[in-house]
A and B are shown apart, each in its own frame.
Chain A
């Protein structure tokens, strides 16, 4: 009872004196990041550098006796000119997909965030349900659903005469766009939901107290505050959609060939590594520029947090 406190802390003084960090302590973060940093160096940075090297090689695997590094910058010019239609097609598909995804998902994300009430978590799970089905399987499901003569869908309407007999979605650009839109919907919806959920609902009430109509409150308060989420959704949909080739492969035809399919064929079928690498690097640079603008706006830490939905 009578014992005197061992440490008397003066007001204003730091509560606990910190020892100057020892040399060993300073090394702790480096020890923690060493395995991951090393792994990312060997299996992410190095491969990209090697691919950059490959993209500047010339020669042929079968004819020219292997590829040689010759600073072949013309690979890039060739890649751009011969693949211009595929780049254009991929970009227009992914633009359509992104706009469609944003327009379709925004109201749903808004509804769950603002009116979900106690069902919020369950509705969110339902919204993200496609995520839990294998990517290839859910694409195949759409091939079934959109089949030209599916007796429960198009075939049914065709029999009733409501659709012309030669109506089809599969193998057309619309089939591919529909497939990509569906497959990346969770990527579109999640950032929208996260940013809408964070908005203080009191702000909407305040706007209404100031006689803003419901629509005006949305336009002037909610929508501007949700813009970071819209931007995140744009990026997270646009980037993978541009590189996608599975949807075009399963739901499309030769007329819907996308840049991802070009890269894949050049690499795996034609074994034209320099051309494939140049295409891949071009795609990467375009996406990195987009992503960097985004990271600059949010900071890369915030940006990855939104990207991973945490």
Chain B
């Protein structure tokens, strides 16, 4: 596609003039917008260094000076620490469950034609498009009805980490499926046929050819599942019970003031996310 749309190199001079003609209004505006978009990120990082006076443990808008104290000791509040590690565990479990299930679904949708394909695509679309509050309230309804059902109540999970995990997996599956589906659809099928021409069995072809080709898509899906789970507030708030997660703890603490360690943990999560995203993007670019 790139070949077809690129103009021959001999007509590059007008292209260059094009770049100079963009004027100054648009670039200045764009840089201001990027500043606006990133300012809360910088403030989050900056206020993690805030050297609060005395024994104060709640963030203030006044910046008192720099300290590394919070960045070096992010896990001071036991409740916050517990909520943070619970979030990480749930996000990890979510990746382990949602990635294979979603990837298989994406594979089925990306390369096979079957009877319910269109309806399944639509269900996935709905699961992504429906407001989170609707998902959260319907999942809570399910867990309530489940626990009250005369036949099934013994198997019903109590509200807590189990219901959190089940809910996170269900909103992650569609995202993983869509990511993998896009990758499968863009895959060069002739490579698989070449494998089969070389007498590879379907199973060998899958593991030696198909899987490596769609792996970047699966990795991107897994990353998405991890981030979505870690960041989820609205759905978790419905099904949480007592097992508070990191975003829920932060939300609860906004009423009384946040400790600087929230900024610090937020910053560490942010950096991890950015690094993972950049690595995944580089991997995807190389494998195309």
Contact = CB atoms under 8 A, between A and B. Distances in A.
A181 B168 CA distance: 25
A295 B134 CA distance: 19
A45 B135 CA distance: 10
B270 A132 contact: yes
Q: Which of A32, A136, A152: most chain B CB closer than 10 A?
A: A136
A145 B44 contact: no
A36 B34 contact: no
B138 A47 contact: yes
A280 B134 contact: yes
A170 interface: no
Interface string B178-214: 1101100000000001000100000000000000000
Interface stretch (A81-89, A157-165, A222-230, A298-306): A298-306
Interface string B114-133: 10101011111111111111
B43 A141 contact: yes
A300 B174 CA distance: 13
Interface string B131-151: 111110111111011000000
Interface string A180-224: 001001000000000000001010010000000010000000000
Given A108-B29, A138-B44, A276 B137 contact: yes
Nearest to B59: A144
B273 interface: yes
Contacts of A308: 128, 175, 178-179, 182, 224
Contacts of B254: 136, 140, 143, 250
A151 interface: yes
B173 A150 contact: no
A150 B144 CA distance: 44
A45 B123 contact: yes
A137 B261 CA distance: 12
A300 B121 contact: yes
Contacts of A242: 131
B269 A134 contact: yes
Interface in B91-127: 100-102, 104-105, 107-109, 112-114, 116, 118, 120-127
A121 B247 contact: no
Given A121-B281, A133-B44, A43 B139 contact: yes
Contacts of A291: 125-126, 129-130
Interface in B241-271: 246-247, 250-251, 254, 258, 262-263, 266, 269-270
B41 interface: yes
A235 B126 CA distance: 12
B153 interface: no
Nearest to A30: B114
B10 interface: no
Interface string B268-288: 011001100110010000000
A136 B247 contact: yes
Given A54-B141, A140-B258, A291-B125, A243 B131 contact: yes
Contacts of B122: 295, 300
Interface string A15-41: 010000000000011101101110110
Interface string A258-278: 001001100110000100110
Contact of B233 (A28, A135, A202): A135
Contacts of A30: 108, 114
B151 to A, nearest CB: 15
12 contacts: A32-B104, A35-B105, A36-B101, A51-B138, A111-B27, A134-B270, A136-B251, A245-B133, A264-B237, A276-B137, A305-B178, A307-B129
Interface of B: 5, 7, 14-15, 18-19, 21-22, 26-27, 29-30, 33-34, 37-41, 43-44, 47, 59, 61-63, 100-102, 104-105, 107-109, 112-114, 116, 118, 120-135, 137-142, 144-145, 166-167, 169-170, 173-175, 177-179, 181-182, 193, 197, 224, 227, 230-231, 233-234, 237-238, 246-247, 250-251, 254, 258, 262-263, 266, 269-270, 273-274, 277-278, 281
What are the 10 tightest A-B residue pairs by CB atom distance, in nearest-first order? A243-B131, A36-B105, A29-B112, A141-B40, A43-B170, A47-B138, A32-B108, A47-B142, A310-B182, A33-B108
Interface of A: 16, 28-30, 32-33, 35-37, 39-40, 43-48, 50-51, 54, 104-105, 107-108, 110-112, 114-115, 117, 121, 123, 125-127, 129-130, 132-138, 140-145, 147, 149-152, 182, 185, 200, 202, 205, 214, 235, 239-240, 242-243, 245-246, 250, 260, 263-264, 267-268, 273, 276-277, 280, 283-284, 287-288, 291, 295, 300-301, 303-305, 307-308, 310
